[in-house]
Amino acid sequence: MRDSALEPIALVKRPPGKNRLLPVSFFLFAIMAAYLCARGLEIFPNPISRTAIVALDVLSAMAFALVHGARQYHLRGILAFAAICIVVGNVSENLGVVTGFPFGRYYFAELMGPKLFHVPVLLGLAYIGMAYVSWVLGCLIVDRSSTSTPWLSIPLVASLIMLAWDLAQDPVWSTVLHGWVWLDGGPWFGVPVSNYFGWYATVFVIYLIFALFLRSKPTIERPLNPAWSRSAVLFYALCAAENVLQTAHRADPAFLQDPAGRMWRVADITAASALVSIFVMGAFAALAWIKIAKQEKLVSRV
């Protein structure tokens, strides 16, 4: 079966029609502004409820995915992606809390609000936003003209992009913010190595199912112009930048203990998050941006 839904992104010239994207583009930037506001509120002390801030963070990222994805994959496509994220994410997380597989032994605290079974509702929804943005970057980075299996290559790369985000985020959200608690601690600032293997496997399943869905619906994907694809890259880069901004806030207390009894310096945790954000997340964002520029040059020569 032809993988037309996973072919290289078409950077088409459409001067008259591009104006129709302007209102939606402004809406996307408004969503990004809300996301930036949420991330800022997470970092610096304020009187707003922590759970309310987390909700703004999660829901703004999800809104970006739904708006951007509806243009790229039609409403049916992005709703299918969201459903896959919610089902696979919740099954995997509930299984993890109950059995310790595939992430390690942990439980969720009260930071993320009400739960569905053992997992906060907001956490299930949190998969949608960054998973979609990471998927777009994976589609940009993979050279689909050089592979006969884009339905496999893109999930493999997109999962690494998503993993980079979790590598930067998890120690902050668990060891520092106590959104969830790793019962046995771990070498990555209180996070076990098993978490990252489990995370990669979980998001890979999400992406693989979506890639196979697109393969079965070859007309569902629309051509994606440069500005539209750049907005997703920018969202991922903004998340990385906000991680770097965490280093500007001095934590009190300066040291925290994980459940295994190991002491961690908060400044070291935020510094490690910043380094991963700059050199790993930043590298993925830069590579995707360069790929867009190369596609534009190819189109301009035609």
pLDDT higher than threshold 90 for residue 250: no
In the DSSP assignment, the letter for residue 218 is T
d(CA 195, CA 168) in angstroms, rounded, equals 13
Residue with tokens 């770097």: 244
Question: What is the structure's pLDDT at 228?
Answer: 82
Residue 248: CB atoms within 10 A of its CB come to 10
Question: What is the structure's pLDDT at 302?
Answer: 58
Question: What is the structure's pLDDT at 147?
Answer: 79
Q: What angle do CA 10, 15, 17 make, to 5 degrees?
A: 80
Is-contact 224 137, C-beta < 8 A?
no
Question: What is the structure's pLDDT at 245?
Answer: 93
Q: Which of the pair, 236 or 10, is modelled with greater confidence? A: 236
Q: Given pLDDT bands bounded at 50, 70 and 90, which one contains residue 279?
A: very high
For residue 188, give both structure tokens: 């990555």
Q: Tally the domains of the chain.
A: 1
Range of the domain at 59: 4-301
Question: What is the structure's pLDDT at 21?
Answer: 61
Sequence-separated (6 or more) residues with CB below 8 Å from residue 125: 58, 59, 62, 86
In the DSSP assignment, the letter for residue 55 is H
Phi-psi region of 7 (alpha: psi -120 to 50; beta: other; left: phi over 0): beta
pLDDT higher than threshold 50 for residue 13: no
- Amino acid identity for residue 266 in this structure: V
Residue 8: CB atoms within 10 A of its CB come to 15
Question: What is the structure's pLDDT at 15?
Answer: 41
Question: What is the structure's pLDDT at 1?
Answer: 46
Is-contact 144 208, C-beta < 8 A?
no
Q: Given pLDDT bands bounded at 50, 70 and 90, which one contains residue 16?
A: very low
d(CA 52, CA 71) in angstroms, rounded, equals 29
In the DSSP assignment, the letter for residue 144 is G
Question: What is the structure's pLDDT at 298?
Answer: 75
Q: Burial code of 157-182, b = ≥16 C-beta within 10 A, e = fewer?
A: bbbbbbbbbbbbbbbbbbbbbebbbb
Question: What is the structure's pLDDT at 12?
Answer: 41
Question: What is the structure's pLDDT at 19?
Answer: 56
Q: What are phi and psi of 107, to 5 degrees?
A: -150, 160
pLDDT higher than threshold 90 for residue 252: no
Question: What is the structure's pLDDT at 220?
Answer: 86
For residue 39, give both structure tokens: 């991330």
Q: What's the gap between Cα 238 and its chain centre? A: 11
% the chain with pLDDT above 70: 91
d(CA 59, CA 219) in angstroms, rounded, equals 29
Is-contact 200 274, C-beta < 8 A?
no
Helix axes 50-99, 121-141, angle to 10 degrees: 90
Residue with tokens 């963070």: 57
Q: Given pLDDT bands bounded at 50, 70 and 90, which one contains residue 5?
A: very low
Calculate mean pLDDT across residues 185-206.
98
